[in-house]
């Protein structure tokens, strides 16, 4: 993606973020910038120059309210996509997409009804302190997540590299035809939410498979908020953003080597909004 196109994508994503911010303030729902978006706000006051997405997070209760209530007040230009309202979508978090645009990732299912430019909205769930319980939950988390991705037709990087693996996955997809997606997603949700009513002291980001194995996020990093400048507006961020960014990135003010400054989502088709 060339720099001019990337900047147009970023500005479209910023437009979505502003609408989500408006909706959350209207509904009194907490959210916070996270991952590279939070890093961009702290280090650059804007997007990381080479970043190609926006990530926000919500604690589970806020997330559930957002996906249930925001659709009634969000602008017609936008669509809140979840695996409950799009049969071809296989991710356990929401994407807020801009209608009448295209931002298609190489690995995404061709069955998705909306592949518009988006921002990610990640729920955060309590993580058990016990190593044994953590291992048990994590094993089930990964197994169900992978089955759901298989069910909806997502293509893994491993399939692209090996014809043998591709055949194995296609055989598995055939057998998955008899298992309802709803059954898998209900089991996934039950598993990942099972500790949310406890007094446990850390969270996991419910999103990317690898996130479950990362260091737990202390609750105090995600339960109090401030506002930081991101591009031309103030947005909610974790109050202890320094501690959170150090946990994720280490010396986060240090720029990565130039050969690592690249967008990462393998976008194969882009179309911008037209009035």
Residue 25 lies in a domain: yes
Residue 105 lies in a domain: yes
Q: Which domain holds residue 243?
A: 3-127+201-271
Residue 260 lies in a domain: yes
Residue 98 lies in a domain: yes
Residue 149 lies in a domain: no
Task: Give the CATH number of the domain where residue 94 resides.
Answer: 3.30.460
Residue 160 lies in a domain: no
Residue 166 lies in a domain: no
Encoded tokens for 152? 């909806």
pLDDT in tens, the chain (275 residues): 788 999 999 999 999 999 999 999 999 999 999 999 999 999 999 999 999 999 999 999 999 999 999 999 999 999 999 999 998 899 999 999 999 999 887 766 566 678 899 999 999 999 888 889 888 988 898 889 989 988 888 776 666 667 777 787 778 777 778 889 999 999 999 999 999 998 888 888 887 665 666 678 899 999 999 999 999 999 999 999 999 999 888 898 988 887 776 767 678 888 897 76
CB atoms within 10 A of CB 6: 18
Residue 174 lies in a domain: no
Number of domains in the chain: 1
Q: CB-side exposure of 181: number of CA atoms within 13 Å?
A: 18
Helices (H) and strands (E) in the chain, counts: 8, 11
């Amino acid at each position: 993606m060339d720099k001019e196109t990337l900047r147009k994508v970023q500005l479209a994503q910023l437009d979505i973020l502003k609408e989500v911010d408006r909706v959350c303030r209207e509904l009194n729902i907490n959210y916070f910038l996270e991952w590279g978006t939070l890093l961009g706000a702290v280090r650059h006051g804007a997007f990381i120059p080479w970043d190609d997405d926006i990530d926000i997070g919500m604690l589970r209760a806020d997330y559930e309210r957002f996906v249930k209530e925001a659709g009634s007040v969000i602008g017609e230009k936008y669509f809140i996509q979840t695996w409950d309202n799009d049969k071809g979508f296989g991710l356990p978090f929401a994407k807020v997409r801009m209608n009448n645009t295209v931002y298609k990732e190489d690995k995404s299912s061709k069955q998705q009804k909306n592949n518009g430019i988006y921002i990610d909205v990640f729920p955060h769930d309590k993580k058990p302190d016990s190593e044994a319980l953590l291992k048990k939950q994590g094993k089930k988390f990964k197994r169900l997540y992978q089955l759901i991705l298989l069910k909806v037709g997502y293509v893994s990087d491993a399939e692209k590299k090996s014809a043998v693996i591709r055949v194995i996955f296609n055989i598995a997809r055939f057998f998955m035809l008899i298992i309802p997606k709803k059954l898998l997603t209900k089991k996934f949700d039950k598993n990942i939410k099972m500790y949310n009513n406890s007094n446990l002291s850390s969270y996991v980001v419910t999103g990317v498979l690898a996130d479950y194995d990362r260091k737990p996020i202390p609750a105090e990093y995600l339960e109090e908020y401030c506002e930081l400048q991101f591009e031309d507006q103030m947005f909610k961020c974790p109050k202890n953003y320094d501690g959170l960014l150090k946990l994720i990135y280490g010396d986060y003010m240090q720029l990565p080597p130039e050969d690592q400054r690249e967008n990462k989502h393998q976008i194969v088709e882009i179309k911008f909004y037209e009035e």
